[in-house]
A and B are shown apart, each in its own frame.
Chain A
């Protein structure tokens, strides 16, 4: 099967430029003109590589990259403009594998694509899923949405990050300190009360009975855990 590449750019002339060059190399090309469509295409058409423009209307490239990384380790190349060093650093920080600076030459583009694909082949683990289910709870990483019994749950940005941190470490017992550092940052390491309040609020929103939580449980003296449900209990 041909390697499938998703091009995401709002400029039709860039899409055309990338497409025509990639096609000559035998890649299959699919396209999207904004981040939202790109996330849909990733889950429905499972490309092998994404070339993502940073400057885009509706969901910019950085946010799109961040969302992709919450459920997939698919290789991503960012397209950035010259002089926007900030974008490049940010792109790499949110998990892009490489970047190409506009203006670029066709041969540079193809060389980068080959290099990233080669690296990806040796390091790529099994792809994660876009959706995560835990009992009556469902997370859509691509849209950053949470559902409980089929109804949407509205979480604050911090609550969402806390929840997906548990989802990404399902089964592990995580200490309060680890959570505080991961979600709030180093300077909050000791600030246990802020974690207690957030966990309580999350349970209010997610649990059928917040006093007998099943999604985020307290492991006395250790920390918190999202337990793995046995198939028959789920």
Chain B
């Protein structure tokens, strides 16, 4: 046997099998179904009856059966035939191939009592990851060609198993990384949101304090107004962060009392007009009986929705309706702004979620709507959003008249 192979000496049928095995290995991502196919191909070149793959347990590293097939003789009496555990243990321990002949004196007539075992390590680089055992009942002995095919098979199996494991750990890592990324996004959003107003306050204050310059009245008013507004913004963000933390820990108190929603809404709009110059709010408030709720918390929700409309739908009127629907109250907050891409609408109420396609420069923490939903749910109500690009966004709130525990 020389190193150079004469082309005519390689039979086409062998090449066909090798190619078929390689193709299965290439295309199947799960090693067990891949093996079912590969075993069929290999067996056309190399006869064996049983095939068993042993892999170590994660903790004890004791060998466990990971794959076993009875292909030939022995199908009928699979319970008490040889499965080659001892050979597998030896092969796995030494990392080397092992051949075992049938015990001497076994009955010549019973093939099942004359197993010929061939054990091979599943090796990747220097590491042994498991063992494969071929079992042939009643001979003949494994020849040199069988041994080489078995080695080829063992290497293919090793690659399939390792590839599937790597894929599993990659998916796990990606999921963890996603978690970390969310956390980092949050930290970077929050630090940006906190630092931006702080930067303006520091910048404009030190501008006013410059010893070498005296500012005229209009400049002074301009700077002080900016400082004032940025202080409010900081306050709002800190309130939101605290509320969000209280909601997370379940310590946000909701104090129920009879509430007239029309009065609360009018009050909120009045304050919002003072805060957002240019707010055009249209109120369509039906006759609605008082409900049980926390007026301070409900105001917070309404302020947030109006504030969002001003921020994300600038120039659009905000239409607020209040009506009775079956046994509950229905409120809507509608704007004619640019709308939200449909794929983001289901996530609007998630903590820290922000529409990633938002125009830059629009500030927000991803906390407002999360807090709204928590407050409405604490009232046993429901808040939903619908949006159409180019048409606008509507938030619906449904609240029961009576709180369940108060019935």
A residues contacting B by CB (< 8 A) are 10-11, 13-14, 17, 20-21, 24, 55-57, 81-83, 102-108
Contacts and interface: CB of A to CB of B under 8 A. Distances in A.
Given A56-B360, A81-B191, 16 more contacts: A11-B361, A17-B204, A20-B219, A24-B212, A24-B213, A57-B361, A81-B195, A82-B191, A82-B195, A102-B199, A103-B195, A103-B199, A103-B200, A103-B202, A105-B203, A107-B210
A59 to B, nearest CB: 12
B206 interface: yes
Contacts, number: 54
Contacts of B308: none
Interface in B148-162: none
Interface residues of B, number: 21
B147 interface: no
Interface of B: 191-192, 195-196, 198-204, 206-207, 209-210, 212-213, 219, 226, 360-361
Nearest to B230: A13
A21 B207 contact: yes
Closest 8 CB pairs of A and B: A105-B206, A103-B202, A57-B360, A103-B199, A106-B206, A106-B207, A102-B199, A17-B203
A20 B203 CA distance: 11
B196 A11 contact: yes
Contact of A106 (B191, B201, B210, B361): B210
A10 B360 CA distance: 8
Contacts of B361: 10-11, 57
A83 B198 contact: no
Best-surrounded residue of B201, B219, B226, B360 (most CB of chain A within 10 A): B360
A104 B203 contact: yes
Contacts of B191: 81-83
A104 B206 CA distance: 9
Contacts of B207: 17, 20-21, 106
Nearest to A81: B195
A106 B201 CA distance: 11
A106 B196 contact: no
A20 B222 CA distance: 11
A102 B201 CA distance: 11
A81 B206 contact: no
B192 A81 contact: yes
Contact of A102 (B195, B206, B210): B195
A82 to B, nearest CB: 6
A204 B87 CA distance: 62
A82 B200 CA distance: 14
A81 B190 CA distance: 12
Contacts of A104: 199, 202-203
B203 A106 contact: yes
8 contacts: A10-B361, A14-B199, A17-B203, A20-B207, A81-B199, A105-B203, A106-B207, A106-B210
A46 B389 CA distance: 42
Contact of B226 (A13, A21, A107): A13
Contacts of B200: 13-14, 17, 103
B191 to A, nearest CB: 6
Contacts of A103: 195, 198-203
Contacts of B198: 103
Nearest to A110: B210
A83 B199 CA distance: 13
Contacts of A21: 207, 210
Contacts of B204: 17
